[in-house]
Amino acid sequence: MCATCGCSAPAVIRVFPDPDHHHHGHEDEHGHEDEHGHRPGGRTGRIVGSLANGGDQRTVQLQQKVLAKNDRLAGLNRDWLRQRGVLAVNLMSSPGAGKTTLLERTARELGDRVAISVIEGDQAAALDATRIRAAGCRVVQINTGAGCHLDAEMVAEGLRVLDPPSGSVVMIENVGNLVCPSLFDLGEQARVVLASVTEGDDKPLKYPHMFRRADLVLVSKTDLLPYVDFDSKRHAWDVRRTSPDALMLQLSAATGAGMHEWYAWLRRRTPAPHD
Ligand code: MG
């Protein structure tokens, strides 16, 4: 749990809108900071959460308090998204599973039919936001500092900056981590877990919380199946046992295989624009 792993130590959210539009020098786009930890073009320094590592009882109580506050804010996000007519998708995986690559291809191939904007979560740097911006999407980068997951307050801030139009999709790329992101409701309407064939077929059994609440499990990097030890049948069986209601799709953002099913899934859930 976050209270004991240390990720709930005071975290600083830093939101960088449109990194390609706001940098005042080449350092900015590489995620460098000045000596005060500030970044040109970004708002900095908002302390969003603090959790003492006291006794176990106190830790549990604080954990419950943090999650209760998060759930309340997530509810507000969900109401806001519903009223606005915006689909928000919480995209989660381990680091390196291909979340950003999936979003780049999705933006390029679906972006002319569906307005897509992106909230990028990473502990540091704006590397992914720069890639997404280059793919033609509006994007904000949220740096969580020591935090290993996004929370509802961070997403509220990202939504405020993005101001997504009705009938659009906001993809929330969570911090790469198969543990803590599963605990935090962001107010999203759908949870998508990316499981790459390069990370092995044992993850649904080892990280059941992440898979249990998934609406969709995307098996990614399938173009690499001939080169890795990944038993697709075993993986599918374990996903099915862990998360009986989740839909499963296989795709490769490198070759484009399976991407149409993913686009169809997204479009089915995207609300019609308000008049
Ligand atoms: Mg990424």
For residue 248, what pLDDT is reported? Answer: 98
- Which has the closest alpha carbon to 7: 174, 169, 231? 174
State residue 51's pLDDT score: 33
Distance of CA 99 from the midpoint of ligand 1 (Å): 5
Q: What local confidence, expressed as pLDDT, does residue 36 receive?
A: 36
Kindly report the CA angle at 15 between 106 and 82, in degrees rounded to 5?
60
Query: 180 with 144: CB under 8 angstroms?
Result: no
Give the C-alpha separation, 98 to 43, whole Å: 28
CA of 173 to the centre of ligand 1 (A): 7
- Tell me how far the alpha carbon of residue 58 lies from the centroid of ligand 1, in angstroms: 34
**Environment class of residue 191 by beta-carbon count within 10 Å: exposed (0-12), middle (13-18) or buried (19+)?**
buried
Q: Which residues of 51-61 are buried (b: 16+ CB within 10 A; e: fewer)?
A: beeeeeeebee
Question: For the purposes of burial, counting CB atoms within 10 Å of the CB of 156, is it exposed (0-12), middle (13-18) or buried (19 or more)?
Answer: middle
| 82, two tokens | 């519903």
* β-bridge pairing 43-49 and 168-173: unpaired
User: Does an H or E element contain 120, and which?
Assistant: strand 116-122
Token reading at 67: 């999650």
Q: How far is the CA of 181 from the centre of ligand 1 (A)?
A: 14
Q: How much distance in Å is there from the Cα of 112 to the middle of ligand 1?
A: 22
CB atoms within 10 A of CB 5: 11
Q: How far is the CA of 30 from the centre of ligand 1 (A)?
A: 14
40 burial level (CB within 10 Å; 0-12, 13-18, 19+)? middle
Distance CA 93, CA 14 (A): 22
Structure tokens at 257: 């295989």
Low-confidence ranges of the chain (pLDDT < 70): 1-14, 18-56
Distance 100 CA to ligand 1 centre (A): 4
The pLDDT value recorded for residue 9 is 57
CA of 39 to the centre of ligand 1 (A): 20
DSSP 49: E
pTM of the model: 0.85
Place of tokens 């911006």: 133
Q: Thinking of the domain 12-30+46-269, which architecture would CATH place it in?
A: 3-Layer(aba) Sandwich (3.40)
In 38-140, which ranges are continuous DSSP H helix?
A: 56-84, 99-110, 127-134
What does the pLDDT look like over 85-109, one tens digit per residue?
999 999 999 999 999 999 999 999 9
Give the pLDDT of residue 18.
63
Distance 62 CA to ligand 1 centre (A): 30
